Amino acid sequence: MPHSTAPERAPSGRSAPARRRAGRPGHDAESVLRTAVRVFNERGYDGTSMEDLARALGVTKSAIYHHYSGKAELLRRSLDRAMDALFAVTREPGATTGPAIDRLEHVLRGSVRVLVAELPHVTLLLRVRGNTQVERRALKRRRDFDHFVADLVREGVADGAIRPDADPEVAARLIFGMVNSLVEWYRPGRGLNADALADQVAAAAFTGLRRH
C-alpha cells in the first residue's frame, strides 16, 4: 500500500494500477522439484532433510512449502512422473496391437526413451526401498508394470515368436534389468541419443529371445 504522505495517482483521475503481487524469486515448482530430486539421488531420500533442500535451493524452508507440502510430496511427484511416463508407453498403439513380440519391443524401446527423458526421476524410482507409504505405492506400480511385460513374453511364447524355454517372469526381469542399468552410466548428450540407445538395447535383448 502506498505511504499516505506520497500518494500516487493515475492520470485523468483513474486509480493507480494495483501493485504486482510479489512472487518467490528464483524458483518455481518445477525447479524446486528438479533440485530436490538431484539431492535425493545424491544423499538418499531418508538422508535428506528439508534444511538440506532449502540449502541446495538457496531459499528458506517456507519458500519450498509455498510449492509443496513437504518432502513426501516431492518424492511422490518425482516417482509418479517416472511411472506415469512408463505406463503411457503401454497405452500406445504399438504396445496394444500386433504380435506380442512386437508389442514387447515397442515397450522396451519406449522405456529406454522414458529413461533418457526423465533420467533423474527414473534413477530415484529405481533406488526406493519401500520405507514409506509413497515408496510402497511406487513399488506396487513397478510390479504392475513388470507383470504387463511378463504377460507380453507369455503371449510371445504361446504364439511361437519367443523361444519356448523363456520363463516370462525371468525374461521380463532380465530385459528391464538391462534397461534399468542404464541409469548407472548413461549421461544425455554424451554418445548415443535415445533412439540409438533403444536400438542397441533391443538388439541385445531380442537376439536371445526370438525363436529362430
Residues 111 and 156: their CA atoms lie apart, in Å, by 19
Please state the separation of Cα 32 from the chain's center in Å.
15
What pLDDT score does 207 carry? Answer: 78
% residues pLDDT > 90 (the chain): 74
CA distances from 135 to 57, 72, 87, 112, 139 (A): 24, 9, 17, 22, 6
- What are the pLDDT digits (tens) for 34-89? 999 999 999 999 999 999 999 999 999 999 999 999 999 999 999 999 999 999 99
Q: Are 98 and 162 in contact (CB under 8 A)?
A: no
pTM of the model: 0.83
> What does pLDDT average to over the chain?
87
Within the chain, how many helices (H) and strands (E) appear? 10, 0
The pLDDT assigned to 9 comes to 41
As given in the structure block, the three cell numbers for residue 146 are 513388470
Cell of 5: 504522505
Least Cα distance to 64 among 82, 48, 80 occurs for 48
